[in-house]
């Protein structure tokens, strides 16, 4: 069975690229363009992993990760922060919020799938 990956990302170009890379590698992709939809979809679909942008409108990725960790059936799900936040302390802040992985933007298409596979 192909693994389902949920992408929570508001930027259409980033969503397109991530979806393309994943589908090209036989992953099933679920898409959410904001945090509330992403949380609802994660509860419903129970994907193998979540790729989570940090810089989102209304509810940032840190808040989304904290909410996902409160859901018992999702507490062990890999959450990979995929973000352009790359300043000192940003990675640690993502982990403190509940992320289990961290991939910096811009995404390198040549190594993205191997980076993802380290976390799932």
Domain ranges of the chain: 4-117
At residue 97, the pLDDT reads 96
Vertex 110: Cα angle to 107 and 114 (nearest 5) = 85
Give per-residue pLDDT as tens, 44-79. 999 999 999 999 988 999 999 999 999 999 989 999
90, 44 Cβ separation under 8 angstroms: no
State how far the Cα of 51 lies from the Cα of 81, in Å rounded to an integer.
6
What CATH fold (topology level) applies to the domain 4-117?
A: Rossmann fold (3.40.50)
Tens of pLDDT along the chain (120 residues) come to 589 999 999 999 999 999 999 999 999 999 999 999 999 999 999 999 999 999 998 899 999 999 999 999 998 999 999 988 667 788 999 999 999 999 999 999 999 999 999 988
**pTM (two decimals):** 0.95
93, 54 Cβ separation under 8 angstroms: no
In the chain, which residue ranges form alpha helices assigned H by DSSP? 12-24, 35-45, 61-69, 90-97, 112-117
Place of tokens 């995404």: 107
State how far the Cα of 65 lies from the Cα of 9, in Å rounded to an integer.
13
Tell me what percent of the residues of the chain surpass a pLDDT of 90. Answer: 87
């Amino acid at each position: 069975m192909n693994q389902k990956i949920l992408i929570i990302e508001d930027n259409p170009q980033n969503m397109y690229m991530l979806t393309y890379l994943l589908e090209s590698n036989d992953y099933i992709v679920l898409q959410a363009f904001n945090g509330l939809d992403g949380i609802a979809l994660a509860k419903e679909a129970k994907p193998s992993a979540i790729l989570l942008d940090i810089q989102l409108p209304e509810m940032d990725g840190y808040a989304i990760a904290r909410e996902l960790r409160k859901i018992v059936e999702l507490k062990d799900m890999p959450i990979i922060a995929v973000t352009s936040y790359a300043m000192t302390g940003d990675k640690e802040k993502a982990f403190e919020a509940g992320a289990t992985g961290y991939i910096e933007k811009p995404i390198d298409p040549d190594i993205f799938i191997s980076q993802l596979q380290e976390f799932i």
